[in-house]
Structure 1
Amino acid sequence: MRVVLSSYGSRGDVEPMAALAVALRGLGAEVRVCAPEDEEFADRLAGVGVETVPVSYSVRALAAGPKPATVADLADRVVMLAAAQYEAVAEAAGGADTVVATGLFPAVTGARTAAGKLGLRYAYAAFFPGMLPSPHHPPFPLPGRPLPEGVTDNRTLWDLDVESQNVLFGPGLATLRANVGLPPVDSVRDYAITGRPLLAADPVLGPWQEPADLDVVQTGAWVLPDERPLPADVEAFLRAGEPPVYVGFGSMAMQHGPTDTARVAVEAVRARGRRVLVSRGWADLAPVDDRDDCMAVGEVNHQALFPRVAAVVHHGGAGTTTAAARAGAPQVVVPQLVDQPYWAGRVAALGVGAAHDGPVPAHDSLSAALATALAPRTRAAARELAGRIRTDGAERTAKLLLEGFGEPA
Structure 2
Amino acid sequence: MRVLLVAYGSRGDVEPMLGLGAQLRALGAEVQVCAPPDFAELLDGAGIPLVPLGRSLRAMATRAVTGTGKPLPAESLSERAARMVAETYESAAAVAEGCDVVVATGLIPAAAAARSVAEKLGVPYVFVAYFPTYLPSPHHPPLAWPGRPLPPEVTDNRVLWDLNTEHMNTLFGEAINTHRAAIGLPPVENVRDHVFTDRPWLAADPTLSPWPQPADLDVVQTGAWIRPDDRPLPADLGAFLDAGAPPVYVGFGSMPVHDAPSVARTAVEAVRAQGRRVLLSRGWADLALTDDRDDCFAVGEVNQQALFTRVAAVVHHGGAGTTTTAARAGAPQVVVPQMADQPYWASRVSELGIGVAHDGPTLTYESLSAALKTALTPGTRTRAAAVAATIRTGGATTAAKLLLDTVGRGRQHVSAPHPALGEKV
Q: TM-score, normalised by structure 1?
A: 0.96
What amino acid sits opposite 1:36 in the alignment?
A: P
Alignment map for 1:224-243 (pairs within 5 Å): 224-243=227-246
1:177 aligns with 2:175: no
Deviation at 1:66, TM superposition (A): 5.0
Separation in 1, partners of 2:223, 2:255: 25
What amino acid sits opposite 1:5 in the alignment?
A: L
Which residue is equivalent to 2:418? 408
CA deviations 1:132-153 (Å, max 9, x no partner) are 0001111110111010011111
Aligned with 2:278 (options 271, 276, 279): 276
Which residue is equivalent to 1:309? 311
Which residue is equivalent to 1:33? 33
Which residue is equivalent to 2:110? 107
Aligned with 2:55 (options 54, 57, 75): 57
What amino acid sits opposite 1:175 in the alignment?
A: T
Alignment map for 1:321-332 (pairs within 5 Å): 321-332=323-334
Pick which of 183-192 and 237-246 moved more: 183-192
Deviation at 1:72, TM superposition (A): 7.0
What amino acid sits opposite 2:35 in the alignment?
A: A
CA deviations 1:307-354 (Å, max 9, x no partner) are 000000000000000000000000000001111000000000000000
C-alpha contact 2:131 2:202 (8 A) present in aligned 1 = yes
Deviation at 1:65, TM superposition (A): 3.8
State the SS of the aligned residue for 2:218: coil
1:15 aligns with 2:25: no
Deviation at 1:226, TM superposition (A): 0.5
Deviation at 1:9, TM superposition (A): 0.9
1:150 aligns with 2:153: yes
Separation in 2, partners of 1:247, 1:175: 44
Deviation at 1:396, TM superposition (A): 0.3
Deviation at 1:404, TM superposition (A): 2.0
Aligned with 2:350 (options 348, 351, 366): 348
CA deviations 1:64-114 (Å, max 9, x no partner) are 345999x97111111111111111221221111100000111111111111
Deviation at 1:170, TM superposition (A): 1.2
C-alpha contact 1:254 1:360 (8 A) present in aligned 2 = no
Aligned with 2:135 (options 132, 137, 150): 132
Aligned with 2:46 (options 45, 48, 71): 48
Which residue is equivalent to 1:163? 166
Which residue is equivalent to 2:287? 285
Separation in 2, partners of 1:237, 1:201: 33
State the SS of the aligned residue for 1:378: helix
What amino acid sits opposite 2:93 in the alignment?
A: A
C-alpha contact 2:97 2:121 (8 A) present in aligned 1 = no
C-alpha contact 1:34 1:92 (8 A) present in aligned 2 = no
CA deviations 1:7-44 (Å, max 9, x no partner) are 01111111000110110011111111111122xx1122
Aligned with 2:359 (options 328, 336, 357): 357
Separation in 2, partners of 1:72, 1:232: 46
Which residue is equivalent to 2:207? 204
Pick which of 223-232 and 312-321 moved more: 223-232
Aligned pair count reads 406
C-alpha contact 1:57 1:84 (8 A) present in aligned 2 = no
Identity %: 64
Separation in 2, partners of 1:124, 1:327: 28
State the SS of the aligned residue for 1:124: strand
Aligned with 2:126 (options 116, 123, 139): 123
CA deviations 1:168-191 (Å, max 9, x no partner) are 111211221122122221111101
Alignment map for 1:359-374 (pairs within 5 Å): 359-374=361-376
Separation in 2, partners of 1:175, 1:249: 37
What amino acid sits opposite 2:3 in the alignment?
A: V
Aligned with 2:263 (options 261, 267, 290): 261
CA deviations 1:209-251 (Å, max 9, x no partner) are 0000000000000001101111111111101100000000112
Pick which of 180-189 and 318-327 moved more: 180-189
State the SS of the aligned residue for 1:213: coil
Deviation at 1:162, TM superposition (A): 0.5
C-alpha contact 1:57 1:81 (8 A) present in aligned 2 = no
State the SS of the aligned residue for 1:100: strand
What amino acid sits opposite 2:34 in the alignment?
A: C
Which residue is equivalent to 2:422? none
State the SS of the aligned residue for 1:5: strand
What amino acid sits opposite 1:153 in the alignment?
A: D
What amino acid sits opposite 1:35 in the alignment?
A: A
CA deviations 1:383-404 (Å, max 9, x no partner) are 1111100100000000111012
Which residue is equivalent to 2:423? none
State the SS of the aligned residue for 1:403: helix
C-alpha contact 1:4 1:98 (8 A) present in aligned 2 = yes
Aligned with 1:387 (options 386, 389, 409): 389
Which residue is equivalent to 1:96? 99
Separation in 2, partners of 1:6, 1:173: 17
Which residue is equivalent to 2:6? 6
Separation in 2, partners of 1:66, 1:269: 29
Separation in 2, partners of 1:334, 1:379: 19
